[in-house]
Structure 1
Amino acid sequence: MTDHLDRRPLISAGTLLGIGMGGFVDGILFHQLLQLHNMLSAKLPVRDLEARKLAVHLEINMFWDGLFHVFTWVMTAIGIALLWHAVRLQNVPLTTRTFVGSLSLGWGLFNLVEGVIDHHILHIHHVTETSNHLIWDLAFLGAGMGLILVGWYLIHFDNGYKKGET
C-alpha cells in the first residue's frame, strides 16, 4: 500500500454528484416550479395552443422531462457509489474544499454541456421560451463557466492536502 495521496476519486465522485445536482436544480426549478421550459418546449410549445394540442404537447414534454430526470438520478447514483468508494480509500484526502470544488465543477459542466447541446445546437428548448431567449441562454452558459472556474479554483488551491501530490 502506498502513502501517496490521490484526490482523483473524490474529484470524480464530486463531479458526477455536481452533474446530477445541477440537472435536478434545472429540472425542478426551470421545468417544474418556474415552468419556463420543458425538454422539448421549443419544438412542442405549451403556450397559446388549443386544449387537445396542448395536452399532447404536455404529455410528450413530461415524458422527455422524465427521461432527463432519469439521467440526473443515474449521475447522482453513480456519484454516490464513487463517493462511497473514495471515502473508503486510505490515500484519498477528504477535504471539503476539493469536494465542494468538484460539486461546482460538475454543476458547471452540466450547465455548459446541456446549454450548448439543447439550447444552441439542437434548439429543443431555451431557458425561457420568449423572443429574447438568447440572453437567458447565454447567461445560463455564463453561470456554467462561472461554476467551472469556482470549482477549478477550489480544487487547484486546496491547502488541505500535501502539495506536490495528486
Structure 2
Amino acid sequence: MIGVGVMAAVDEIVFHQLLGWHSFYDRSTPAVGLVSDGLLHAAELVLIVAGFFLFADLRHRHVLAPRSAWAGAFLGLGGFQLFDGVVDHKVLRVHQIRYDVDLLPYDLAWNGAALVLLAVGVVLAVRSRHEGAAAGSAPAP
C-alpha cells in the first residue's frame, strides 16, 4: 500500500503538477482533469496513511520482517508504475505521459523503470523468503 501510494504521489506531483504533462483524466475539460488529479491525490494519501498504520501494527506486534516490507514497497512502486503505463496509458487511454511528442522513448523509460522496481521487489522477496526459511530451520539458542 505504501509503495503504490508513494508512486502515485510521485506521478501526480512531478508529472501532473510540476511538469504539467498530463492529468489523471485528460479526455475531458481541464476542470475535469483537475478534479481527477484531486481524487488521485486523495486516494494516494489514504493508501500511504493506511499502509503506515498497518506497518506500525506489525512493528508493535514484533512481527515486522524488514526485508519483506521493503520487498512489498518496491513491488507496490513498480506495480503502480506498470499498471499506469500499460492500463492507463495504452488500454484505457485516460492520459499519455506527454502530448505532441514521440511516445516510444517515454513509454520505454516509464515501463522500464517499472520493471526495474518490480525486479528489485522480487529479489528482496526471494531473499526474505530464503532468510526466513534458514532462520526457521536453525536450532533455537
TM range (shorter): 0.7 to 0.9
The structure 2 residue matched to 1:127, chosen from 97, 105, 115, is 97
Identical positions, percent:
30
Higher relative contact order (CA 8 A, sep 6+): 1
RMSD, matched Cα: 2.1
Unmatched runs of 5 consecutive residues or more in structure 1? 1-15, 45-56
Matching of residues 89-108 of structure 1 within 5 Å: 89-90=61-62, 92-95=63-66, 97-108=67-78
| TM-score, with structure 1 as normaliser | 0.72
The structure 2 residue matched to 1:61, chosen from 29, 33, 40, is 33
How many correspondences in the alignment?
135
Amino acid at match of 1:18: G
Amino acid at match of 1:121: V
Shifted more, 125-134 versus 19-28: the winner is: 125-134
1:22 aligns with 2:13: no
- Could you tell me which residue of structure 1 aligns to residue 19 of structure 2? 34
Hey, what's the Cα distance between the residues in 2 that align with 1:163 and 1:93?
16
- Could you tell me which residue of structure 2 aligns to residue 110 of structure 1? 80
Hey, what's the Cα distance between the residues in 2 that align with 1:163 and 1:126?
43
Which has the larger share of helix? 2
Q: 1:160 to 1:81 in 2, by over 3 A?
A: farther
| TM-score, with structure 2 as normaliser | 0.84
Amino acid at match of 2:33: N
Unmatched runs of 5 consecutive residues or more in structure 2? 137-141
